[in-house]
């Protein structure tokens, strides 16, 4: 969904056309839910927080200013904040997720699932910031500058967190899963 389409939908919703809110949910639910799932590692918790993020948007749609950013950025920021709050309350660590995100296309489906499971199991060894940045950059394919704005950090810091996350994952894969040591290449 492009920015103009978002603006039109927001105007329509502000005028009382709540059916247009469903279009927003349909457009962003999968990515927002996926992000929550990767961070939390629990499908039920992710669904609950995803629903909460959309409810928050709906409640505050009248004060939403499209000039300040896209709906997607708003929803990503909301879900990340909700997940961080949830994790700090529950002291939860991710347990399962990351099935086929950004894996090489030439890998067999089973191998993609296996390496995805391995990476997911290793995400718990990253700090919350490293994990969040890694998921946003490598799974959600967001640009560094978008992530920096969203997390209110500078772009260099975001790049450093992502680099540290990738390095830690690479080292963990080499140590625990040597058969996959060539899989995880460091970004240039």
Task: Please check whether residue 158 is in contact with residue 148, taking contact to mean a CB–CB distance below 8 angstroms.
Answer: yes
Instruction: State the CB neighbour count (10 A cutoff) for residue 140.
Output: 19
- Tell me how far apart the alpha carbons of residues 108 and 9 are, in angstroms, rounded to a whole number: 40
Q: Is the pTM of this model over 0.85?
A: no
What the chain holds in terms of domains, given with CATH numbers, is 1-97 (1.10.1740.10), 101-188 (1.10.10.10)
113: confidence class by pLDDT, cuts 50, 70, 90: low
pLDDT digits (tens, 9 = 90+) for 21-45: 999 999 999 999 988 888 887 889 9
Please report the beta strands in 60-187, taking only residues with DSSP state E, as ranges in sequence order. Answer: none
């Amino acid at each position: 969904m492009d920015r103009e389409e978002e603006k039109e939908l927001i105007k329509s919703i502000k005028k009382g056309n709540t059916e247009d809110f469903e279009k927003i949910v349909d457009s962003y639910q999968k990515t927002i839910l996926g992000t929550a799932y990767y961070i939390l590692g629990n499908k039920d918790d992710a669904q609950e927080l995803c629903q909460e993020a959309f409810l928050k948007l709906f409640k505050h749609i009248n004060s939403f200013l499209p000039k300040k950013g896209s709906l997607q950025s708003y929803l990503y920021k909301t879900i990340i904040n909700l997940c961080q709050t949830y994790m700090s309350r529950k002291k939860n660590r991710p347990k399962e997720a990351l099935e086929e995100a950004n894996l090489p296309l030439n890998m067999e489906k089973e191998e993609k699932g296996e390496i995805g499971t391995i990476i997911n199991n290793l995400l718990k060894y990253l700090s919350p910031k490293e994990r969040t940045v890694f998921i946003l950059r490598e799974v959600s394919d967001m640009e560094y500058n978008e992530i920096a704005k969203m997390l209110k950090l500078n772009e260099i810091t975001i790049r450093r967190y992502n680099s540290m996350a990738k390095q830690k994952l690479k080292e963990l894969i080499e140590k625990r899963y040597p058969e996959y040591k060539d899989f995880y290449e460091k970004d240039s």
